[in-house]
Each structure stands twice: as C-alpha cells, then as structure tokens.
Structure 1
Amino acid sequence: MNKNIVILGTQWGDEGKGKIVDVLTKSNSYVVRYQGGHNAGHTLVINKEKIILHLIPSGLLHNNVIGIISHGVVVSPIALFNEVKMLEKNGFFVKNRIFISNSSPLILKYHIDMDIAREKKLGRKALGTTGRGIGPAYEDKISRRALLVGDLKNRDKLYIKLEEIVEYYNHQLVSFYNFPAIDYKKIFKNLLPIIDFFHDMIQDTTHILHTIIKNKKNIIFEGAQGSFLDIDNGSYPYVTSSNSTIGGVITGTGLGPKNFHYILGVTKVYSTRVGYGPFPTELFDHIDKHFSNYGQEFGSTTGRKRRTGWLDAVLLNRAVHLNSLSALCLTKLDVLDGLKEIKICIAYKNIHTLEIIKYPTMYDLENIEPIYEVHPGWNTNTKGITKFHFLPKEAQNYIHRIEEITKIPVDIISTGPDRLHTIFMKNFSIF
C-alpha cells in the first residue's frame, strides 16, 4: 500500500517545512504544492548553499522527484519562470519534472498593483501582506472572473479576457486608489515569451494524482504558511488568503481524505511571526535578539525581521486538533543552545477578568497574557546531532514535555539547516 504524507505548519509559517519536505522526498516519488502562492518562501541548504523556493515544490532538488503545482495554488507565471531559471543557474534542472494545474488561478500585474494600493491606502492599519498579489488573485477565483493557467494555451481568448478584467481593475486603481492605469496589451506581450515554455507542463493535475495513487506511488503534500494564517482558522484578519490547515490539501488537490495516511505538523521549538496580528508569547528583550541572531529570523520572501517568542503550546494544541496531526517535527533545536532557561506557554490569563484560558478563540488573543512553564536550558552544542541519545538530557526532557502536552509523538527533530542535521525518531523508509 502506498503511504502519502502531508507536511504543514502549526504556527504562523516559517517553521522550516521546506527542509523537511526536501529530506523526506528522498524516498518518495512525487511532491505536491496544494495552496498559497509565491508569497511563501522555503529555504533549503544543499551542500552549504542556500536555495530559496517560492512556487516550486521543495522536493524537486532531488533529481528523481516529480513536482506538481495543484489548482489550490495561485500561480504567477513570471515568478515561476524566473524560479526555474534560477534553479538552472544553480545546477538543478526541473523544467521537465513539473506539472501545473490548468485550473490554477493566474497572478498578473493588476493583482500586484491592487495588493500594494490597498496596503498603502490602509496606512497604519495595513495587514502586512507581501505585496505579491495573492489576496486579489484568490478574490478573482471566488468571484468567478479569474484567468486560469489553462487560459495560457489559447492566446486569442487570453487577449480578450485580459482586456475585460484589466478594465475592471483600472476603474478601481485609477478612480479610488489614485494608481496608474494598467495596459493589458503590455501584460499580454510580457506573457508571450513564457507561454510556450509552460505549454507542456499545463495538465489536469487531479487526474495525474489519482493515477499516481492507483499505481501505488508515494506522494508528499507540501503546505505553505502555517495553521494560524489560515483564512478560516487563523488570527483573522491577519491571515493569508487560502486554507493552510488540512482542509486545503483536499480542496486544493481534488483528492479525498482517505488518500492521506500521515499528517506531520512542523513547529519551531520557539515561535515566530512576520507582519501584524496578535502574538501572545512575543518577546522584546535579549531573548528576542538571541532568537533573531542565532535563528536568522528574517523572512525569506520579504526580508522583514520576524517577531519572536517562546513556544506557545496552547496554540500548538489547537493546531494538533485542527489538523488531526499524526506527529510533530520540531525544528531549530540548536537555536536554544546556551539559554539558561526555556519557557513553554501552557495557558493564558485574561488580563481583565483573570480567567484562565486553555482553548482560546481568536478574539481572546488580544486581551491575554501567557502563563509559562520554565525548563532548564543547556550549554552543549546540539547543531548537527543526528541521534536522540546524543542530545543533552535537558533537551531530551524538553522534547518529551512537548509530547506530553500535545499527546502526539515527536517523530523528527531538526538540529540545523542542512539536510544531514536531522534526528529521525521513526523509520520513514517504510513510507
């Protein structure tokens, strides 16, 4: 029987999913991106070289792996083209190993301009988007006016549709946001050189996935962002525009629930967040500087400094329940090296009523303070350790405590950015 693995984030993104996808696809045939767009950034370290991917599934850096971008993803054809070319310059040739869903919505210049215009108009109330046009592209999908990847195969219809939709956007951009008008002819002209490049990649990916499963091949499903950026389950309105929890895998691929056999939640051993929105365990002291410096906590897409804080086990438990997680993968354990004490948030207290809250709604997050459990740190260097029993006892106890709190096992521990810096608590060769 084939074994299909879903890998998703349990925090606000940036948990290190890209590395884990890359490591696990070594023994898998296919890897699928199922939601989000090029606002996501997955950083990989291969032979000490840093590679940042935005649309291309992380596992494609293995030559034997086929990548699929399914219809839950919004696709910027120009960004994808540039990413393929970037990989070729680095010695990774993926053009003939990618399929793109013909039903994926396109991201074009008018989406980007609208994204930027709205953030500028909001001023201090801005949501902190990446300015990549993700939200407007998903809006077009829901409003049933989106141009799809499949439209690239018919140039005449594409030209007509572009004229219609650009007129719709120009009315808003010029009249309300005071932005320059967009020339649909220029968009069309810029698309022409890359249409032929993508022609053979554009397929019915749902059919391909069902065929793969019928042939009993293994698949990894790679999520973008994290559970609390989910449009329905996250800290709204400071969220992304897609479902980054488990439901997004089903709607974003066209596969039913019985096709997913193991759901791995990736979490840092501390917390980070990019942009605005509630962050109960956020730090502003020397520990924040420690996490930022040693964890290199700067967004791979935006370059913005990430906000940092202690591990929030309250939200982690919520992510376990939201996603029916099979197990956890803990990343960046080595960043905790040298700290005298390490804290885990195990509950919240309402600052007004003093009520103890263990399962908050998103409305609770603005008026609470964390209740911490304190654990001893360690001075031993854990970077690059590949066996659990080589970890200092304090680190082992910290990991076991996370298992106790979440009531699911920790199956993978990342002790550094390289592929080899990984502890496996489970035999993944059976998958």
Structure 2
Amino acid sequence: MSVTVVLGAQWGDEGKGKLVDILSAHTDICARFAGGNNAGHTIIAPIGLDHVQTKFAFHLLPSGLVNKEVTGIIGSGVVVHLPSFFEEFDTLRAQGLDCSNRLFISDRAHLVFDFHQIVDGLKEVELGGSSIGTTKKGIGPAYSAKASRSGLRVHHLFDPAFADKFRKIVEGRYKRYGYFEYDTEGEIERYKGLAERLRPFVTDSVVYLHEALAAGKRILVEGANALMLDIDYGTYPYVTSSSTTIGGVSTGLGIPPRRIGKVIGVIKAYTTRVGGGPFPTEQLNETGVHFQEVGCEYGTTTGRRRRCGWLDLIVMKHSCLINGYDALNLTKLDVLDDLEEIKVAVKYLVDGKELLGFPANLETLTKVEVSYVTFPGWKTSIAAVSSYEDLPGIARKCLKVPIEWIGVGPGRENMIKK
C-alpha cells in the first residue's frame, strides 16, 4: 500500500514530527487530515549548502515539507486560520525552507477566523473551574460551526456572497455571547486580500490525492494531537474537537480505508499531557520535574509546561485497540537515562477490581489505583547508541511491545531502526 499513517498514541507531543521527517525522505506527499494550528511539531534538520542544523516549528503545515521534494496537503478535515498559515509559511521561508508550489489546501477545509479565537476564550470563561485548557486558537468554535452547518470553507472566500455570509455569522456570535469588540468590516477587507494570496494554494484535494494514488505516489499521513485527545475516544470533554484516530484519516482526506497501508503509533517513554483533565500516572514530584526539564517538555504551540508521568500501558492498550498499529515508535528513551528506577503502569484497579479497559466515565478514572511494574534504571547515556542490540539490557527488557523505531535524542541521527 502506498499510504503510511503516523498517529499520536497518547495525549500528544510524542515526537511524531521527527518520525515524519525521517519517513518523508521516502515519500512524495505529506498530508494533514485533522486539527488546526493548535498542533505543534518541532523538527531539527540541516539547511543550505553548509547544512546548518535548524529548528523548525510546524503548527498547521505538514512537517514532511522539511524534505524539499515533498508536496504538502492540508486536507478537508483540517480547520485553517489563514493569517497563521501565511505567518508559518513566511517564517519557514525566512529560515531557508521555501514551500512555494508544493503546498496545497483543500477547498473543503473550514476556516478559523479571529472571532472564533475570541469565542474560544469566552467559552473557557463560561466553564470557569471546569476549564478544558484549550490553546484558544479558535479550533473548537470552528469545528462547532462546521458541525452546526454554519461554518465557512475555503471555497467560500471566492464566493461573491462571502461578505454577507460573514456578517451574518458574526451577528450570530453576538447574540450568543453578547457584544465583543471585533472589526467585522475590517476583517472582511483583510480576507479579500488573503483570498487572493491563497488562490494558488487551493485545490480539490480528493481529486489530487486519488490521482497521486493512481500514479503510484507514496503518501505519508501526519496525525495531529493524539488518540487520548480524540473527540470520541479520548478523555472527553478534555479533548480536541476532531477525530484524531485512524478513522479521521478517511473522513479528513477522502482516502478509503482499503488504501491505507502501514499505521505507526508514536509513544513517549513516559507520558505527558497539556491542559486540564485526568492523568492517572502524573508525577507531581521530582520525577515529574525530571521529565519536564530533561525532556524539554514545553509546548511548541503554547510554550506551556507539560504535565508529566510514568508510561501508561492501559492508555497504550486502549490506543492500540482503536488504531490497530502495525508498528510503534518509542521516543525520548534517553530522558530516562539518569533515573534510579523506572515505573510502567500495567493495571487500573477500582475497589480492588481490575478495569478491563480505559474508562469513559472520568469519575471512575479519578478513583483508580494504578498498579506499576518497577525496573532498575540503566544509569548510563544512550544518546550515542545506534543499534537495538547496543541498548542496555534493562532498556531492552522494558521494550516488550512491538517497537520498530526508538528515539534516543533530538536529531535525525538519534533514531534507532529495529
């Protein structure tokens, strides 16, 4: 099969971008299928004749674009904030990565406007103490508009009735939230200019991708967020607003399931999450601080310090059942180098009884007692290790799941292929 999918297997921030970067050397098209510029992938890659190691921050654009032979597709399931799209595009170009003529947006993709971002903040205020902890990028309100059939899509930008439709939608937000400061007419004028700049990027992505498949092109699908943030299967309501699972690939890109080949799940050697919501293995102690500091656990998009805890195999079992991974990529194993002991969660118990799966009810989740298996730490650096056999014995003993790639550092060269 010519479609490979890379998905986050935990709560996001697993390091998907690095694997996408590596796999993009053997692909023709890299496609995003869900989410918006609330995602964040960091890539470190050599640029220019002098091969200067450069750090790139991707938010909306597919990170496979680091490979200058790859074409990027932003699919119909993605929500797009055009000012952020062009800001990211221009920043990458200033860093020496020009994506001109090899980046396209589906004409069916929904648009995120600044009023969506304002509403995002107002909704968080409404929730008060139950705040979800969103990035306030307007993603949730844009998907809400999509689901209620009141959103605007990319093709609407070129509709003569765009201005009237836009005014009507803003008026609807005023009725719902009360008047808030917003220059509706100024925004309409701004989007007229953005629409003209966007025109060369717009395509019918369904036709584009299926013509590519018919021509034998290799397509790499890059997930945003992760399984535990999925609107259906994550820790609802502390989730994102889209389908982050393998099912989202078909709905977000228009690719039939039978055309999908390898599915790769990316997991961290420990667990992190951003924002509110339950986190059974969270460590509010020196171990958690170690993960934060040594693992540089700060959000690419928000800069927020991530919450950290031990690897959770109950989460991983739930993730594997839903996404059916063919292989896993374990990242940041080197962050465990200096720990005296390493714990892995293997069971959730409530009143002494083991739960069979990851519970839907968050009240149940707050009551779980986590059962761990403890391993002694290997207490040596693995950053220079280049083969699985050269990993410390105890590290290999910890890797009991079918793992194909192991990350032992931040660079491209710090990835072991098993």
Give 3-state SS (helix, strand or coil) of 1:96's partner.
Answer: coil
Displacement of 1:194: 2.2
Question: What residue ranges of structure 1 are gaps of 5+ in the alignment?
Answer: 404-408, 426-431
Question: Partners of 1:415 and 1:157 in 2: how far apart?
Answer: 53
Aligned residue for 1:93, secondary structure, equals coil
Q: One-letter code of the match for 2:235?
A: S
Aligned-partner Cα distance in 2 for 1:264–1:169: 40
- Select the residue among 149, 157, 164 that pairs with 1:160: 164
Shift of 1:416: 1.2
Residue in 2 aligned with 1:64?
69
Secondary structure at the residue paired with 2:308?
strand
In 1, distance between residues paired with 2:220 and 2:70? 10
For residues 4-23 of structure 1, what are the structure 2 equivalents within 5 Å?
4-23=3-22
Aligned position for 1:240: 240
Is the contact made by 1:384 and 1:420 (CA closer than 8 Å) also made in structure 2?
no
Alpha-carbon separation, structure 2, partners of 1:384 and 1:19: 17
Q: Summarize deviations over 1:113-146 as a string: whole Å, max 9, x none.
A: 1001111232221110100000110011111111
1:89 aligns with 2:91: no
- Of 377-386 and 226-235, deviating more is 377-386
Counterpart code for 1:107: V
Q: Deviations over 1:67-106 (max 9, x none)?
A: 0000000000111010000001100000211110000000
Aligned residue-pair number: 410
Determine if the alignment matches structure 1 residue 412 to structure 2 residue 371: no
Is the partner of 1:5 in helix, strand or coil?
strand
The DSSP-based 3-state class of the residue aligned with 1:197 is helix
| Paired position in structure 1 for 2:49 | none
In the TM superposition, residue 361 of structure 1 has moved relative to its aligned partner by 1.5
CA distance in structure 2 between the aligned counterparts of 1:240 and 1:116, rounded to whole angstroms: 15
- Is the contact between residue 32 and residue 219 of structure 1 (CA under 8 Å) also seen in structure 2? yes
After TM superposition, where is structure 1 displaced by more than 6 Å over at least 4 residues in a row?
Answer: none
TM-score by length of 1: 0.93
Matched residue SS, 2:343: strand
TM-score (norm 2): 0.96
**Contact persistence 1:6–1:262 (CA under 8 A):** yes
**In structure 1, what is the Cα distance between the partners aligned to 2:44 and 2:336?**
20
SS in 2 for 1:195: helix
Q: Is the 8 A contact 2:264 2:327 kept in 1?
A: yes
Question: Aligned letter for 2:41?
Answer: H
CA drift of 1:384 comes to 4.2
Q: Which residue of structure 2 aligns with residue 170 of structure 1?
A: 174
Equivalence for 1:357: 355
Matched, 1:122 2:127: yes
Query: Which residue does the alignment assign to 1:321?
Result: 321
- Give 1:183 deviation, angstroms: 2.7
Within 1, Cα distance between the matches of 2:156 and 2:218? 30
SS at match of 2:150: coil
Cross-structure match for 1:428 = none
* Correspondence 1:40 to 2:39: yes
1:261 maps to: 261
TM-align CA RMSD: 1.2
Aligned to 2:292: 292
Conservation of the 8 A alpha-carbon contact between 1:346 and 1:358 = no
**Is the contact made by 1:288 and 1:309 (CA closer than 8 Å) also made in structure 2?**
yes
- Comparing 340-349 with 115-124, which one deviates more in the overlay? 115-124
